[in-house]
Amino acid sequence: MSDHRTGLPPGIRACLFDMDGVLTDTASVHERAWQQMFDEFLRARDGASFRPFTQDDYNTYVDGEPRADGTRHFLTSRGISLPEGDPDDPAGTETVQGLGIRKNALVQQHIEQSGVATFPSSVDYVRRVRAAGLSVAVVSASENTAQVLVQAGIADLFDVRIDGIVTREQHLAGKPSPDTYLAGAKALGTPAPAAAVFEDAVAGVQAGHAGGFGYVVGVDRVGHAAALRAGGADVVVTDLGELVEPA
């Protein structure tokens, strides 16, 4: 029987949350930034044969992955090979790094102009699991994680942050590898079987499943519940509030 305070199985002592699309309503910001960046690049490259970047492309190739990996995977899907480039390439340079930097600049521009919205039920759920004595971490591929959490006013809710900067500095493999979630669990002092993962990306639930985590929660914001289940989610919800059973 699950704990009525959290909706989690017995023995879960820690919760590891993805950020974009789970805690903050920024997944759509990332999707628009990816689309604008890739469409600019593809339109200039392909001319009349231009095919736009789609939500299916976002879900399949870039959602939840480190920026460079997502850039590389989508380009490969279109049969395009670019030089890797350097992390200090000017934004928009026709390299994997340069295109990723352009995408990140678009995300930051939106955040600065419009701020960051949260999913209130998710924030309430994080507070609920903390009140139940569980430790919590945020695990995100974004290098903007710290900025987003501060602007959203929720930075103080998390004991540990594993983000794109930590991933790069510690040479961790990105999702769907379990490395970042395992790093989060280790930082919390909790073995994977005693931790729950909360993810809206297929790559993320695959990471949770591959890491042997005790419970993997898929959060379906875009109508891909079947893909989340196939990726390894133990349960799929459209809102974290659904996990909480009536007292």
| 20 flagged as catalytic | yes
Which residues fall within 8 angstroms of residue 156, CB to CB, at 6 or more apart? none
**DSSP category for residue 16:** E
Cβ-based neighbour number of residue 40 at 10 Å? 15
Structure tokens belonging to residue 117: 């919205």
In the chain, DSSP assigns E strands to: 14-17, 135-139, 160-162, 195-199, 215-219, 235-237
Alpha-carbon distance of 212 to 193, in angstroms, equals 6
In contact, 158 and 137? CB cutoff 8 Å: yes
SS3 at position 161: strand
What are the backbone angles phi and psi of residue 198, rounded to the nearest 5°?
-120, 120
Q: Which of 18, 57, 163, 179 is catalytic?
A: 18
Q: Which of 20, 57, 163, 200 is catalytic?
A: 20
Structure tokens belonging to residue 80: 């395009």
110-136 burial: b if 16+ Cβ within 10 Å, else e: bbeeeebebbeebbebbebbeeeebbb
| 89 flagged as catalytic | no
Positions annotated as catalytic residues are: 18, 20
